[in-house]
């Protein structure tokens, strides 16, 4: 049974949330055992406005939930903030239930995308950056927020409600047990923020500089934001400033004090032996160590790795040599870090080889191009010898000094 919520957020603004516990890999990439929610919004003033929607598989359910509050035929406007199908997938069926009466509002790119994604041509009006649509009791102010998450993405500010409907920005993974931030305990909130960090870096990490720019732009509008209503996860009506400052921190990769993420592969145990020495030393120094091992018995979720990289002070990569190159899973991980979490953090690379190879250089090249600073490399042949063990012990101190 799919769980849904319809609730009055503030004034005449409703949230319509559906809990997706079915999607195993969001965007077919990110493992989300924690699930995800899709949040659409409905404003019932002198005009009825629907903001976004749900994934297509929940279209009928959305129409059902909408019908509890209004007749879908009475929707006057549908604001499409973003065309990714987790928000826009329900558009064709909602428009059908609405008998195509509503005017779709969006960025100029949205018109063509609606047609090419769904083969429909609804009534469409372009909104320009900064446009205000006066609807009597309420007014909608639109702001372009390019690359948060696609080029066509916009957000809406409702002045009379001091509310920002922010689409992907300020969202998070997981299925919070409540709708609003101030209904969770501080432990639950802190767990949610971990999921939100994972969401930011996996979904918008490639465009993280736009997060900072987008937030600066919203601040420059000088508007009072009491409620932040994103398309995924918690709505913020207790402390919206928390999620704003967290988003800036994550986009900048601000490190937690003394947190190190260790990522390694080991086919037969020698890299692991070396890594264990460093972990032991780091632990003695009281460092918070997150370890992700690609071995014959373990495959970490790549989204979790990226999430921990985001707020680490430094990284350690342990890699074996495989067919003249770095082990493929570590190459993939390094490329994902470069694509999604390109920060300027220190990295140490520990490489094992049997007879020779390019593994250290390969990983160094990928990470330095992305902005990382490789401060130390340790290479050893076969099993780590005593000299290597001494170097590994020294590495922990070098990394955190
Ligand atoms: C399938 C396979 C391919 C390998 N290819 C190379 C190679 O191209 N060059 C090299 O120097 N060592 C190669 N090695 C040797 C390993 O890199 C070396 O034994 C290393 O110590 C493995 O670390 P591990 O024990 O943590 O798996 C290969 C090993 C395996 C099992």
Atom number of ligand 1 nearest to Cα 356: 11
Alpha carbon of 353 to ligand 1 centroid (Å): 5
- 174 and 35 in contact (C-beta within 8 Å)? yes
Alpha carbon of 271 to ligand 1 centroid (Å): 10
Consecutive sets of 10 residues in the chain, 401 residues long: mean pLDDT of each? 97 98 97 98 98 98 97 98 97 98 98 97 98 97 95 97 97 98 98 98 96 94 95 97 97 94 98 98 96 98 98 97 97 98 97 94 98 97 97 90 74
Closest to 59 (Cα-Cα) out of 26, 89, 96, 82: 89
From 262, 273, 320, 357, mutation site for ligand 1 pocket: most ligand atoms within 8 A of C-beta: 320
Do β-strands 154-158 and 163-167 pair in parallel, antiparallel, or remain unpaired?
antiparallel
Tell me which residue has its CA closest to atom 29 in ligand 1: 322
Ligand 1 — pocket residues by CB below 6 A? Answer: 266-272, 320-324, 352-357, 382
Atom number of ligand 1 nearest to Cα 267: 27
Q: How far is CA 72 from each of CA 50, 67, 81, 98, rounded to the nearest angstrom? A: 10, 6, 19, 5
Q: What is the pLDDT of residue 338?
A: 98
Long-range CB contacts (within 8 A, 24+) of 96-100: 97/63, 97/66, 97/72, 97/73, 98/72, 98/73, 99/73
Alpha carbon of 300 to ligand 1 centroid (Å): 21
Alpha carbon of 280 to ligand 1 centroid (Å): 24
Domains of the chain: 4-252 (3.60.15.10), 259-400 (3.40.50.360)
Atom number of ligand 1 nearest to Cα 271: 26
Cα dihedral 63/64/68/70 (nearest 10)? 20
d(CA 303, CA 336): 9
Alpha carbon of 322 to ligand 1 centroid (Å): 5
The greatest distance separating any two alpha carbons of the chain, rounded to the nearest whole angstrom, comes to: 78
Alpha carbon of 320 to ligand 1 centroid (Å): 6
ipTM higher than threshold 0.95: yes
d(CA 121, CA 128): 20
Closest to 38 (Cα-Cα) out of 248, 307, 235: 235
From 275, 319, 354, 384, mutation site for ligand 1 pocket: most ligand atoms within 8 A of C-beta: 354
């Amino acid at each position: 049974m799919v769980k849904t919520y319809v609730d009055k957020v503030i004034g005449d603004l409703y949230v319509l949330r559906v809990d997706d516990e079915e999607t195993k890999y969001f965007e077919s990439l990110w493992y989300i055992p924690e699930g995800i929610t899709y949040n659409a919004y409905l404003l019932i003033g002198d005009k009825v406005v629907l903001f976004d929607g749900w994934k297509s598989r929940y279209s009928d359910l959305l129409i059902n939930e909408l019908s509890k509050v209004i007749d879908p035929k009475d929707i006057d406007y549908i604001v499409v903030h973003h065309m990714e199908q987790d928000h826009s997938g329900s558009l064709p069926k909602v428009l059908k239930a609405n008998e195509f009466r509503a005017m779709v509002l969006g960025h100029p790119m949205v018109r063509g995308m609606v047609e090419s994604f769904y083969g429909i041509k609804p009534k469409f009006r372009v909104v320009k950056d900064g446009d205000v649509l006066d609807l009597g009791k309420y007014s909608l102010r639109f702001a372009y927020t390019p690359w948060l998450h696609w080029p066509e993405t916009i957000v809406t500010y409702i002045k009379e409600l001091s509310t920002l409907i922010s689409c992907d920005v300020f969202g998070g993974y997981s299925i919070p047990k409540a709708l609003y931030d101030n209904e969770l305990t501080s432990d639950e909130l802190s767990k949610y923020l971990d999921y939100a960090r994972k969401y930011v870096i996996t979904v918008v990490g490639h465009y993280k500089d736009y997060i900072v720019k987008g937030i600066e732009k919203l601040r420059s509008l000088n508007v009072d934001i009491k409620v932040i209503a994103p398309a995924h996860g918690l709505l913020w009506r207790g402390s919206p400033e928390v999620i704003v400052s967290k988003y800036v921190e994550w986009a900048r990769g601000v490190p937690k004090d003394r947190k190190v993420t260790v990522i390694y592969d080991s086919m037969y145990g020698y890299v692991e032996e070396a890594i264990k020495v460093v972990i032991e030393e780091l632990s003695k120094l009281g460092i918070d160590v997150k370890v992700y091992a690609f071995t014959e018995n373990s495959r970490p979720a790549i989204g979790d790795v990226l999430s921990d990289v985001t707020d680490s002070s430094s990284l350690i990569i342990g890699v074996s040599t495989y067919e003249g190159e770095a082990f493929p899973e570590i190459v993939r991980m390094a490329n994902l870090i470069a694509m999604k979490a390109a920060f300027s953090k220190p990295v140490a690379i520990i490489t094992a080889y049997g007879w020779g190879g390019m593994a250290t250089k390969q990983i160094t090249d990928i990470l330095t191009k992305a902005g990382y600073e490789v401060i130390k490399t340790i290479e050893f042949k076969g099993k780590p010898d005593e000299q290597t063990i001494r170097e590994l012990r020294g590495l922990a101190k070098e990394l955190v000094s």
